[in-house]
Amino acid sequence: MAEYKIEKNVPCPKRGKGGGKWQQLAAMMKKNDSVVLPTGTQKSGLFSAIRRAGGQACSRKVENGYRVWRIK
């Protein structure tokens, strides 16, 4: 078995919250604002960030990607 060093009294850092690009964008959006994103992965990230911030979101596939609305 490999040797591991056990360390005592090392504080666990607090989780980051609200620092990601989708959280920042969600925080800037107001009710009925929308944004077009080129990929489904980006759409999902923003959609989740809006919901985590206490809002509601709606998304639709559009010609040049996905439009995400903040509806609440």
Number of H helices, E strands in the chain: 2, 3
Mean pLDDT for the chain overall: 90
**For residues 38-57, average pLDDT:** 94
Taking the CA atoms of residue 12, residue 13, residue 18 and residue 24 in that order, the dihedral angle to the nearest 10 degrees is -140
Q: What integer pLDDT is reported at residue 19 of this predicted model? A: 64
**Cα 22 from Cα 48, distance rounded (Å):** 8
User: What pTM does this model have?
Assistant: 0.73
**For residues 24-38, average pLDDT:** 94
Domain boundaries along the sequence of the chain: 21-70
